[in-house]
Every structure is written in C-alpha cells, then in structure tokens.
C-alpha cells in the first residue's frame, strides 16, 4: 500500500528563497530517525531529510504485515492451552512480542474455532510484553471451549486458535456407560463398542481398562478417551461358537466399572445344492457332455467338504479339490460329465461328505442315455435333358458292400430328383443308381452308379 506522507506548500521557488523554503520543511528529531531506521520505507524518508533535499511531495510505502514474517507471534501462556478451566471467570494472558500490534481481540465460543457465542473482547496495546483480559460467563459443562486470539498490525489482522475444557460439575470425569452395536451375534465377526464418560476428559485424556469373560470375544486391554472428548471407541472381535453362550465386557476407570453383555448364538454349517438331480438326456457315444452344479455354504459357520465321489458308468466329476472350506455365503462349482461308451440308459449319483448340520452326506442323482450316431445318405440327380417317352418319376436302387445285387428302395416312383436313404448302418458302404419311369411303369437304363461309406 502506498500513502502520501506530506506535501510541501511550495510549488515554485527562486534561489534566494531556497534556504527559507527548506527551513519550512517538517523536522524529524534524531531519536525519531534512530527509532525508524530499521523500517525500510522510513529509512528512505530519513535519507531525504538528512540530505535536506527540497521536494514538493514524498511518497513512501507503509510496511505490510508480511514484513514481520519469521518474527515471534503473540501466544496465550495462561491458562495453559488444552487444560481444564477453573470456572466461569478466567483471566487469559498472552505474550506481546510485536510492539507494533495496536489492538488485540479474544473470541470465545463453543460451536467451533472462530465462534463468539461465549464472548468477544477487544484490548488496545499497552506497549508491554504481555496482555491480559478477564473473561466471564464461560460455561461449566465440561465441554470444549474454543478460543481465538487476534492481533492487528497496521490494520492487518492475524490470529491463533486454542482449545480448553470447560470446568465441570465434578473435579474429574467418571465412567458412565459401555455399549456395543449389537447385543447378539451369530458366527464369527466383530462388534463396534463405545466407552462413555460423564464429562470431557482432562489434559492427557482418561484411560479405560477393558476385559471380556469369554475367550470367544476379545477386546483391547484398554482404550483412551482423548482430552476434551467424552467417548472412546473400540472393536470386540468374535469367534464362532458351537453352542449358545454369553460374553460380558467390562470397562473400568477411576474405580468405576460398567458392563455390556453380548449373546453368542451357535453357528451351524449348511450346504445348499444348485441341483439335486442332473439329467443328461440322449448323448451320442464317445461325445462327452458336461453340466455344472453350484455348491453354496448357506449356514452361519464355515462349511468343509471333505470328500466327493461318483457312481454310474460314463459319469465323472471335476472342478472340486477336497477338502474344501467355504465361508458362509461362499460358493464353488462342481462339474459333472457324461461320456457313454455303450448305447442304453444309465443312472448314477454324486455323493458329497461335509460338516453340514443337516447331515454328513448329500447326493445328486444322475441319468443319461447313450446312443449310437445315426447317418443318412442324401442323393440328387439331373433329369434327362430329352426323352421321346415322357418321364413320370424315378426309382432308386442300392447295393450293399461289394455286392452287385441292387435292391429297389422306393415303393413307388419319386417325381422329384432327390432321395434320402435313412436306413444305412454305421461302418457300411453302399452303391446307388437311378432309373427313369414312364406312365406305364417302364424303366430306362440305369444311370451311373455312386458309392458312399458310412462311418
């Protein structure tokens, strides 16, 4: 910021008036010059005055608060920050290392840093090394009091924040309660718990001892309520139990003890099958088919599948390595296969052994039918390009293997130029020819022959 310090009333002059005009300039005593000599802007003023230069005006920048960076800041020394206040009237004292601070403010509140709902005090600087103010009307509920100290240097405000604990109805807080998120648990898990005080903990906090009378529930040996706080949280770790039990948690502080009871329900393992039976239907020989079955741990305790077996010719299992342990809600997939080697219906079963409470074994029934692959031969031919005797249909003849004896396949002549032979057998070869037929049933000479081998 730039400020005009003074303005000379003389705008023009001649040489004979020079000394007179200089004598009218403002005078600065040597003690004033010495006191301002550390100020970079006022040092410019001192230089001009000592040289007795004549000028119509002088401009100088006022020092900003940023020039004080690195210098000691005012700080509250009494009461000690973070401590418990003595009552509703408290004298606050702070250091004043920066003599240039012209004004101080002390804000007190309970709603957070910078709040003023308890009080706000303004104090002018006395030039001393410390400043004090007596604040009244401070609550005595044992809660947190927020204090902000503010000081002004050339109209630039700076601040520092502190917290205190209000005086309470008793000299020190005591344990008032112990609670947990759940009073009943089933299976392994954890429970969020809280220890509470009658008032805010003082300087250094308050240590609360913790204990459990059941080995299935473990808690920390202690928890500390921080200074100014009224509660402290901790976690109780719970193991699964096979029978219903109770666990009593005890919190102790300052000779006061309080308890909380947790009911531990028996955890049971359960197995849920995605399917109780698997039907493969018709499956060609030597053509494997696979179907998945989901196994789910549906109880409140871990499920352990210790063994799995399968019966029935052509059935198989894969994808499950035992022993296998599934936590509650976890699943695994069992792959069941069917690869028949002979034709005919087959039945079987998959048996699972586990620790499920409903029974140590669970079964999945299996069924499927093996069938040989069926083939057919599709024949096509071209109609005669010209014939003096109109063609009304065609007859198809077939010979088996190396035989030269051809047998008529169609009971009546086919009007089209295609024929499907669905009576062939696997592993057999056949030869075919076609003849044209007129309206009287007369047949033409045979066509060329065509041979095919069925796998």
The last residue of a domain, from among 331, 351, 371: 371
The last residue of a domain, from among 331, 350, 371: 371
Average pLDDT of the segment spanning 415-433? 92
Q: Which pLDDT belongs to residue 142?
A: 79
Is residue 54 domain-shared with residue 146, that is, in the same domain?
A: no
Q: Which pLDDT belongs to residue 99?
A: 64
User: Does the pLDDT value for residue 188 go beyond 50?
Assistant: yes
Query: The domain spanning residue 87 has which CATH number?
Result: 2.70.50.50
pLDDT band at 70 (very low <50, low <70, confident <90, very high): low
Residue 318: inside a domain, yes or no? yes
Average pLDDT of the segment spanning 227-237? 93
Residue 387: inside a domain, yes or no? yes
Residue 121: inside a domain, yes or no? yes
209: closest CA among 166, 249, 153?
Answer: 249
Query: The domain spanning residue 403 has which CATH number?
Result: 2.60.40.10
Residue 418: inside a domain, yes or no? yes
- 400 lies in which domain range? 377-453
C-beta atoms surrounding 303 within 10 Å? 25
pLDDT band at 125 (very low <50, low <70, confident <90, very high): confident
Q: What is the count of structural domains for the chain?
A: 5
Cis, peptide link before residue 79, omega less than 30° from 0: yes
Q: Which pLDDT belongs to residue 294?
A: 97
User: Does the pLDDT value for residue 43 go beyond 90?
Assistant: no
214: closest CA among 266, 178, 179, 249?
Answer: 249
Average pLDDT of the segment spanning 47-56? 40
Is residue 296 domain-shared with residue 254, that is, in the same domain?
A: no
User: Does the pLDDT value for residue 128 go beyond 90?
Assistant: no
Average pLDDT of the segment spanning 284-291? 91
In this structure, are residues 138 and 151 in contact, taking their beta carbons and an 8 Å threshold?
no
pLDDT band at 331 (very low <50, low <70, confident <90, very high): very high
Is residue 275 domain-shared with residue 334, that is, in the same domain?
A: yes
pLDDT, tens digit (0-9, with 9 covering 90-100), for 297-307: 998 888 999 99
User: Does the pLDDT value for residue 165 go beyond 60?
Assistant: yes
> Residue holding tokens 């009871």?
261
Is residue 158 domain-shared with residue 241, that is, in the same domain?
A: no
The residue ranking higher by pLDDT, 64 or 327, is 327
Q: Which pLDDT belongs to residue 242?
A: 84
C-beta atoms surrounding 147 within 10 Å? 24
Neighbouring C-alpha atoms within 13 Å toward the C-beta of 268: 9
How far apart, in Å, are the Cα atoms of 274 and each of 292, 297, 331?
9, 11, 10
Is residue 117 domain-shared with residue 93, that is, in the same domain?
A: yes
pTM, 2 dp: 0.42
Average pLDDT of the segment spanning 222-228? 93
What one-character-per-residue DSSP string does 161-211 give?
A: EEEEE---SSSS--EEEEEES-SEEESSEEEEEEEEESS-B-TT-EEEEEE
Average pLDDT of the segment spanning 102-108? 92
Is residue 277 domain-shared with residue 366, that is, in the same domain?
A: yes
Residue 93: inside a domain, yes or no? yes
Is residue 210 domain-shared with residue 241, that is, in the same domain?
A: yes
């Amino acid at each position: 910021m730039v400020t005009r310090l003074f303005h000379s009333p003389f705008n023009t002059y001649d040489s004979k008036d020079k000394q007179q005009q200089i004598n009218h300039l403002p005078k600065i005593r040597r003690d004033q010059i010495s006191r301002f000599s550390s100020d970079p802007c006022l040092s410019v003023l001192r230089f001009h005055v000592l040289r007795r230069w004549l000028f119509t005006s002088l401009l100088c920048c006022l020092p900003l608060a940023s020039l004080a960076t690195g210098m000691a800041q005012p700080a509250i020394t009494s009461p000690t920050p973070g401590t418990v206040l003595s009552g509703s009237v408290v004298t606050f004292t702070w250091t004043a290392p920066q003599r240039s601070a012209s004004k101080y403010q002390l804000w007190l509140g309970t709603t957070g840093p910078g709040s003023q709902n308890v009080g706000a005090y303004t104090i002018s600087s006395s030039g001393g090394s410390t400043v004090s103010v007596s604040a009244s009307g401070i609550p005595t509920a044992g809660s947190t009091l927020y204090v902000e100290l503010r000081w002004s240097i050339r109209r630039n405000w700076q601040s520092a924040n502190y917290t205190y604990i209000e005086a309470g109805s008793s000299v020190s807080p005591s344990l008032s309660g112990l609670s947990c998120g759940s009073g009943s648990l089933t299976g392994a898990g954890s429970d969020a718990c809280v220890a509470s005080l009658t008032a805010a903990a003082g300087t250094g906090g308050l240590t609360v001892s913790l204990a459990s009378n059941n080995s299935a529930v473990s808690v920390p040996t202690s928890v500390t309520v921080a200074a100014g706080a009224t509660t402290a949280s901790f976690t109780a770790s719970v193991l699964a139990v096979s029978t219903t039990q109770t666990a009593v948690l005890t919190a102790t502080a300052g000779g006061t003890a309080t308890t909380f009871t947790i009911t531990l329900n028996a955890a049971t393992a359960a197995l849920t099958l995605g399917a109780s039976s698997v039907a493969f239907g018709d499956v060609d020989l030597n053509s494997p088919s696979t179907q998945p079955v989901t196994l789910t741990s549906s109880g409140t305790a871990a499920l352990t599948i210790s063994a799995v077996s399968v019966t029935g010719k052509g059935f198989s299992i894969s994808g499950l390595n035992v022993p296998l342990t599934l936590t509650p809600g976890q699943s695994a997939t069992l792959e069941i296969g069917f690869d028949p080697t002979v034709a005919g219906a087959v039945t079987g079963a998959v048996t699972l052994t586990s620790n499920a409470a409903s029974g140590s074994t669970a079964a999945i029934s299996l069924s499927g039918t093996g069938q040989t692959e069926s083939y057919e031969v599709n024949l096509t031919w071209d109609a005669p390009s010209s014939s003096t005797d109109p063609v009304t249909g065609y007859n198809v003849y077939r010979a088996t293997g190396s035989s030269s004896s051809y047998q008529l396949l169609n009971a009546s002549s086919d009007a089209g130029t295609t024929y499907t032979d669905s009576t062939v057998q696997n592993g057999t070869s056949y030869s075919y020819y076609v003849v044209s037929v007129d309206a009287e049933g007369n047949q033409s000479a045979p066509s060329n022959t065509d041979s095919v081998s069925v796998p």
